[in-house]
Amino acid sequence: MAMSVAGPSGRGGRRGRKPVMAEINVTPMVDVMLVLLIIFMVAAPLMTSSIDIDLPVASGGKSISSNAPPLTLSVKRTGGSCNSSVDLYLGDAPIAAADLLPKIKAIRETRSDAESVVYLRGDKDVCYTDMMKLLGEIRAANYKANIVIIPEGGS
């Protein structure tokens, strides 16, 4: 005699079971990542070396640092529109535009390679074309140029 155990739904006794959930639970992963973060935050300061070493002192050769002040070229517009005349100041001394290139070439010959930077400061009214002409002359004299931007109210 054969007997059937299947219920009226034909599923073989699985009437009360829920279907399988297909979502990933990320809470354990977040917990592990936070623990790793804390471990690295505690371990990072411990990995620095605190061994005292007496380094040798180098002597001879040229000194990179000097007491010479940096070369600064300041530009102030005097005319009413662009491409008008500008006043040039090399350091604090006024200089004519025609004398600028020979003067900074002569200064370049007396300075080392570490001092081959000119700081170009422009008034807020100076036109872009005037600044680019001066930048070209500075580079023609074999200098590197830094354009200094002064915020409002600065000197």
Q: How many CB atoms lie within 10 A of CB 125?
A: 14
Residue 15 or 100, more confident: 100
pTM over 0.75: no
Q: Is 104 buried (19+), middle (13-18) or exposed (0-12) by CB count in 10 A? A: buried
Query: Would you state the pLDDT for residue 139?
Result: 87
- Mean pLDDT, residues 35-58 taken together: 80
pLDDT over 90 (residue 36): yes
Q: What is the mean pLDDT of the chain?
A: 77
pLDDT, tens only, 107-149: 888 877 767 888 888 877 788 888 888 888 888 888 888 887 6
Q: Is 116 buried (19+), middle (13-18) or exposed (0-12) by CB count in 10 A? A: middle
Domain 71-148 architecture: 2-Layer Sandwich (3.30)
Residue 39 or 107, more confident: 39
Query: Would you state the pLDDT for residue 143?
Result: 85
Query: Would you state the pLDDT for residue 128?
Result: 81
Domain layout of the chain by residue ranges: 71-148
Measured in Å, how far apart are the chain's first and last C-alpha atoms?
108
pLDDT, tens only, 90-102: 888 898 888 888 8
Query: Would you state the pLDDT for residue 37?
Result: 96
Residue carrying structure tokens 């350091």: 91
